Amino acid sequence: MTTAPAETEKRRLSGRLGPVGIVFMVVAAAAPLTVIGGNMPLAMGLGNGAGAPVGFAIAALVLLVFSVGFVTMTPHVPEAGAFFSYVTVGLGERMGKGIAVVALIAYTAIQVGIYGYIGWAISDTVAHYHGPVIAWPVYSFVVLVIVAVLGYRHIELSAKVLGVALALEIGIVVVLDTVMVAKPGPAGVTFTSFAPATFTQGTLGIAILFALTGFIGFEATAVFRDEARDPEQTIPRATYAAVIIIGAFYAITVWAFVVAVGPDQVATVAQKTLAGEGNMLLDTTGDMLGIVGRDIVNVLLLSSLFACVLSFHNVIARYQFVLAGKGLLPARLATVHDDHESPSFSSLVQTATAAIIVALLAILGIDPLVGVFGSMAGVATVGMVLLMLTTSVAVLVFFLRNRELRTDHLWTTRIAPALAVLGLLGSLWLVLSNFTLVTGGSATLSTVLAAIPFLGLVVGFVAWRPSRALSAN
C-alpha cells in the first residue's frame, strides 16, 4: 500500500543508512570487478599499456577535487536529488530540470547496458559449464524481476544484499592482488608503471577515459540523503570514502596485473583480450589461484554485475521520486510505501521502463556486449561527465553569489570547484574525442549517441515551466 498523491508533500523517504551503507551503494554501482575485467584491458590495450594505473589514479584525483566543492555545498542543499538539486540551487530551476533529464538518461542507459552485459555473462557461463544454450534476454529478465522485488522494498534490504556481494567481490580481488604481487612476472615487483617514461607512452587520455567510466554511480552518496542517519555527517564521509576506496582499488589492482603479467607483455595480453583471444582477468586468475579460483572470480563477476544493476535501479527510482515531488514528473511517482517506506511506485515504473527498452533491443537482435552494453555505457559516460561539470559550475556560482558563506575557505568554495571545472572539461574532451572506442560503433552512430545527453539538457531547459511545487521550495 502507498500513500495517496495528495499526501506526498507530507511524506519523505526515511532510513538509518550510515556512511558504510551508502558507500556500499556507490562502490556496488562502480562494479569494481566488472571494471577490472572490462575497462582495464581497454585502458591497457588501447591506451598506455603498463602506465594504465596512472590513468585510474588521475581519474580518482579529478573526482576527489570535484568532491571538495560538492561536499562543501551539501549543507546548503537540504534535499535528495544529488546533481539535480545542486544545479537547481546554484544555477536555477531551468538548468536544474535540464540536468535532471541528463541524469535520467545517463542512469537509464547504464542500467540497460548492464542488463545486456549480465544476460550475456550468465549465458556464457552456463554454456562454459556445458549447460543449456539460452538466449541472453531470458537471463536479463530473470535478473530484472529480482531487482524489481528488492527495489520495491526498504532501502536497507538492498544495502544488505549489496554489502554481502561487495564484500565477497572485494575480498577475492584483494586475495588475487596479494598473490600477484607475491608471485610476480618476469620483471619482478616493479613500479615502472608510475615512471613518466612509461605512463606517457601510448595514449594516457584513453586510460583516463575508461577509468572515468568506472566511476559511474558516484553521485549516489547524495541521492540517499533522506535515508541517511545523519546527512550532514554521513554524506561527506561517504563521498570521500567512496572516491578514495574506488580509486585506490582500481589503481592498485591494475598495477598488480602489470606486476603479474610483466610491463613489457601487459599491453599485448590486453590486446588479445580485446580481440577475443583470451580473458585477461580470468586467465590471470587461473594462473594465480588455479581452476577453483578462476571459477570463483567468474561467479563473483556475475554478482558484481547484479550489485551494479540493483544500485542503479535504486538511484533512478529516487531520482524520479524527487523530481515528482518537485512537480516535474507525475505526482504518483512521489508516493511512499506505508510499510517499506520506499518509493515503491517509482520503483515499479523504473522496472517497466527498463523492461520495455531491454525487450525492444532483444527484438531488434542487438548484440548484448558491443551493441547494448558498449553503446549504453558510452551514453552514460558522456552524461556522467556533463553532470559533474555542470554541478561544479553550480558550486562555484553559488559561493560566488553568496560570499558571506564560508568566505574564509577559499580552497573549498573557490579554488577546488574551479580546478574541478577545468579537470572535467578536459575529461569531457577526452571522452568525446575517443568516443568510438567506448561504443565500438561507427563515427556516425557514436556522434548520435554522444549527442543524446546534450539533447536531454536542451529539452529539459527549454521545456521548463514554473510550477507550484517548485515555487514553494
> pLDDT for 118-175, tens place per residue?
998 898 888 878 889 899 999 999 999 999 888 766 555 556 666 677 778 888 899 9
pLDDT of residue 156: 56
Q: State what percent of residues in the chain have pLDDT above 90.
A: 36
Please report which confidence band the pLDDT of residue 288 belongs to, taking 50, 70 and 90 as the band edges.
Answer: very high
pLDDT of residue 124: 81
Question: In angstroms, rounded to a whole number, what is the distance separating the alpha carbons of residues 52 and 49?
Answer: 6
* More confident call, 21 vs 12: 21
Determine the pLDDT at residue 470: 43
**What band does 434 get if pLDDT is binned at 50, 70 and 90?**
confident
The verdict on residue 469 lying in a domain is no
Average pLDDT on 225-241 reads: 71
> Which one is predicted more confidently, 181 or 463?
181
What is the Cα–Cα distance from 139 to 425, expressed in whole angstroms? 39
Q: Does residue 275 fall inside a structural domain? A: yes
Residue 448 DSSP code? H
The pLDDT assigned to 155 comes to: 54
Pick the residue with more confidence: 232 or 184? Answer: 184
Does the residue 10 lie in any domain? no
Min mean pLDDT across 74-78, 170-174, 377-381, 442-446 is at 74-78
pLDDT confidence of residue 454: 96
- For residues 200, 212, 82 and 15, what is the CA-based torsion angle, rounded to 10 degrees? -120
- Report the distance separating Cα 126 and Cα 120, nearest Å: 10
Q: What pLDDT sits at residue 224?
A: 61
In a domain, residue 467? The reply is no
Is 254 part of any domain? yes
Q: Does residue 468 belong to any structural domain of this protein? A: no
Query: What average pLDDT score do residues 249-265 get?
Result: 95
Which pLDDT value is given to residue 310? 83
Which has the closest alpha carbon to 158: 169, 168, 147, 167? 147
Alpha-carbon distance of 119 to 134, in angstroms, equals 10
Torsion angle, alpha carbons of 20, 383, 215, 301, to 10: 100
What letters, b where the CB count within 10 A reaches 16 and e where it falls short, cover 340-379?
Answer: bbbbbbbbbbbbebbbebbeebbeeebebbebbbbbbbbb
Whether 51 shows a pLDDT value over 90: the answer reads: yes
Q: Which of 51-55, 165-169, 231-235 comes out lowest in average pLDDT? A: 231-235
Q: To the nearest whole number, what is the mean pLDDT of the chain?
A: 83
Whether residue 79 is contained in a domain is answered as yes
* Percent of the chain's residues with pLDDT above 70: 82
Q: What is the pLDDT of residue 7?
A: 40
pTM, two decimal places: 0.82
Structural domain count of the chain = 1
Work out the average pLDDT over 285-312.
88
Q: Which structural domain, as residue segments, surrounds residue 87?
A: 17-461
Q: Is residue 470 part of a domain?
A: no
Tell me what pLDDT residue 394 has: 96
- Per-residue pLDDT, averaged over 68-73, amounts to 89
Point out the least confidently predicted range of 38-47, 102-111, 406-415: 406-415
Eight-class DSSP state of 49: G
Answer positive or negative: Cα dihedral of 128, 362, 317, 221.
positive
Residues making up the chain, counted from first to last: 473
CATH number at residue 69: 1.20.1740.10
